[in-house]
Amino acid sequence: MAFLQLKSVGQTYFSKTSATTALEDISLSVNEGEFISILGPSGCGKSTLLSIIAGLLIPTEGSVLVNNQLVNQPHPKIGYMLQQDYLFPWKTIEDNILLGLKLRNLYTQEHIQSAFRLLREIGLDHTIKKYPSELSGGMRQRVALVRTLATQPKLLLLDEPFSALDYQTKLKLEDLVSSTLKEHGKTAILVTHDIGEAIAMSDSVIMLSSNPGRIFRTFKITESLKNLLPFEARQHPDFSATFQQIWEELEQIEQNDFE
């Protein structure tokens, strides 16, 4: 039984002058522990899709199920990390990472300690009393990840979590996130622009075409790459073959868009 199911989900945004169909007929299922990446051109509806899965947006068509339960409001087992860190500038790092626990009524010593442990694992123990403005972009991104993980969601939605980072930090964070998620047995959906990142981190890659966003193709990543850390996967011989394949498909999407 799939953990997460989307049944022909569609989203149309209405305004006074127009109706924009951002997503159309998206159906997919994700098993527990799986790591899925979503690739697609800018504006094809990736963030919209995550907002729908997170229960922040009720789709105009279709439905989302988690463990066969309809998602129509933010689900306690789903953690959503937005496209930017959105740490609260007026809260300390400590208060930022504990925000979810407070709101979810999980403010127990046990959960607090495990949030602090996560912060330590991710190497930001020393920032606990600081404010977000005193941290670098990469550090803030990691804090945002801790904030999302603190409520111990089963499904993580990550919207381009590494896009604002320099290449080296990004590679390191990929490994860190990948191993952290594996270790805790999380299911994850990652939105990215980076083909390499999608291949290196996930079990399968879903490619969206735009206007409206539809599933264009789904790639299964080979076993040889799946079990490696992202950094190692990038070195593996199978990596470039997969990269090539996805690249060509993307070209095709763009051509289709052009016509």
Ligand X SMILES: Nc1ncnc2c1ncn2[C@@H]1O[C@H](COP(=O)(O)OP(=O)(O)OP(=O)(O)O)[C@@H](O)[C@H]1O
Contacts with another protein by CB under 8 A lie at 51, 54-56, 73-74, 76, 78-80, 82, 84, 86, 88-90, 99-100, 103-104, 131, 133, 151
Report the C-alpha gap between 158 and 81 in whole angstroms. Answer: 5
Select the binding partner of residue 42 from another protein, ligand X, Mg ion, none (C-beta < 5 to 8 A, by kind). ligand X
159 strand-pairing partners: 191
Q: Which positions from 47 to 66 touch ligand X by CB under 6 A, shown as an x/- string? A: xx------------------
Among positions 20, 27, 73, 244, the unique one binding ligand X when judged by CB under 6 A: 20
Report the C-alpha gap between 108 and 95 in whole angstroms. Answer: 14
Query: How do beta strands 214-220 and 204-209 pair?
Result: antiparallel
Report the C-alpha gap between 233 and 243 in whole angstroms. Answer: 12
CB-count burial class (<10 Å; 0-12, 13-18, 19+) for 128: middle
Asked if residue 43 binds ligand X (CB under 6 A), the reply is: yes
Report the C-alpha gap between 106 and 124 in whole angstroms. Answer: 22
Task: Quote the least distance from Cβ 20 to ligand X, whole Å.
Answer: 5
Q: Looking at beta carbons only, is 47 or 67 nearer to Mg ion?
A: 47
Report the C-alpha gap between 54 and 74 in whole angstroms. Answer: 6
Report the C-alpha gap between 104 and 80 in whole angstroms. Answer: 14
Select the binding partner of residue 13 from ligand X, Mg ion, another protein, none (C-beta < 5 to 8 A, by kind). ligand X
Q: Looking at beta carbons only, is 47 or 92 nearer to Mg ion?
A: 47
Among positions 46, 75, 154, 214, the unique one binding ligand X when judged by CB under 6 A: 46
Task: Quote the least distance from Cβ 15 to ligand X, whole Å.
Answer: 6
Asked if residue 44 binds ligand X (CB under 6 A), the reply is: yes
Report the C-alpha gap between 199 and 240 in whole angstroms. Answer: 10
Report the C-alpha gap between 74 and 125 in whole angstroms. Answer: 29
Task: Quote the least distance from Cβ 38 to ligand X, whole Å.
Answer: 9
Q: Looking at beta carbons only, is 77 or 217 nearer to another protein?
A: 77
Q: Looking at beta carbons only, is 131 or 243 nearer to another protein?
A: 131
Q: Looking at beta carbons only, is 86 or 231 nearer to another protein?
A: 86
Reduced to 3 states, what is the DSSP secondary structure of residue 153? coil
Q: Looking at beta carbons only, is 72 or 235 nearer to another protein?
A: 72
User: Contact at 8 Å (CB) between 78 and 157?
Assistant: yes
Residues in contact with ligand X by CB under 6 A are: 13, 20, 22, 40, 42-48
